[in-house]
Chains A and B, each alone.
Chain A
């Protein structure tokens, strides 16, 4: 009984790294979404929150952590996707229907990932590295992100793209969050179905929370 591969190159080990990094990123998007909702409190609350986040030196640690997690998640998922397609070089002529079929959400995880990757890059260009407006509250000058958000979400093209990307993110999360326990080995006849529902709810909440902004600023504001 000799083990030939190691954890980091094994399919199970790699899946667990994708799952753990994915779970951390899921928590990040939830926090990001909740932060966004401050815009409904007041422009000031939103801008000051953004200022508080970016004015601590810890932001660099957090950003480095996020980039690392994102990079790991993407690179290892690409590696696994390659292994998976090598494992099935010839496709079936007909796809299964009914009980033995695989859901399209799980078949399209890789494409969802690509959409999210493109979205994240454009999103950083538009907001983080985008136009800098300033506003002063009680003598402190901070970036007026609120103004940028309002402007960006007046463009129908951007609103549609944002909406699509957030639906795709929701689909991606709906798979990821409900499958992370299984990947780490916690499956239970009673708890697994509950956790599946929690995953779906989590995905729906994040996605709805994100699209609330463009919809509000485009149609209502």
Chain B
């Protein structure tokens, strides 16, 4: 249908408005008129915000940056689903043609103790950064890219490591989980290093540290519901959580007692 203009949609929005972290929040209703079905969800919010600003009101605060599904900032829950109804899609990649004319859309922030609300739909996900800071890296210099085949990596491992590394840290897994567990995120970050030779030296310590930090931040436990993977815009596999569980068990057994 190249070249044809999108259909115009009229929608009712119920948006969570909260002036600040410690303020009381509530739903506010807005009419979204004449929205092109070709617009992205964020573009639809932009249209609403332009009207709000014009009429002297505070625009709806939401995070966004790349608008092409790679930065992971467009966090929001649409009709109960993080990043909206489609799988493998970030909010910025969701199109308004996915909604029916006249539909009511409820838009909420990600809700988790570890992700405090900054304002409206924007939440503070620095808990993820702190988890990364305790071990989500390789702390030795791994040098230049090695010559081909000097460091053999099975194709399957390379593929799984790559798939895990596509996690964009958006936090939808936490938002989707009934326990607000960060297991999928942490396991993806662990897996992409655990599957490669460079990640081996620090593998056990990394697992212990990142899991400890995950708990410390106040995320819940995993019930193996799989809601995280279903909501994940990168479709990170539950197999990564299994690998984390196994590595954590092994690392706990082998851990030497001295702790700092």
A-to-B contact residues, CB < 8 Å: 1-7, 9-16, 80, 83-84, 86-103, 106-107, 109, 175, 179, 181-189, 192
Contacts and interface: CB of A to CB of B under 8 A. Distances in A.
Nearest to A6: B252
B252 A96 contact: no
Contacts of A106: 178, 223-225
Contacts of A94: 79-80, 106, 108
A2 B230 CA distance: 32
Interface string B200-221: 0010011011011111101111
* Among A91, A93, A188: residue with most chain B CB under 10 A: A93
Interface stretch (B28-36, B142-150, B237-245): B237-245
A10 B82 CA distance: 27
27 contacts: A1-B139, A1-B205, A2-B209, A3-B208, A11-B220, A12-B211, A13-B252, A80-B221, A84-B178, A84-B179, A84-B221, A86-B218, A87-B112, A88-B178, A92-B80, A93-B14, A93-B108, A94-B80, A97-B80, A100-B227, A106-B225, A107-B178, A182-B238, A182-B242, A183-B224, A184-B246, A188-B239
Contacts of B80: 92, 94-97, 100-101
A205 B167 CA distance: 40
Interface of B: 14, 16, 27, 77, 79-82, 85, 87, 106, 108, 111-114, 134-135, 139, 176-181, 202, 205-206, 208-209, 211-216, 218-225, 227, 230-231, 238-239, 241-249, 252, 255, 259-260
Contacts of A15: 221-222, 245
B112 A88 contact: yes
A182 B240 CA distance: 10
A1 B178 contact: no
A87 B225 contact: no
A126 B15 CA distance: 54
Interface residues of B, dominant DSSP:
mixed
Nearest to B111: A90
Nearest to A109: B223
Given A1-B202, A93-B108, A100-B85, A179 B245 contact: no
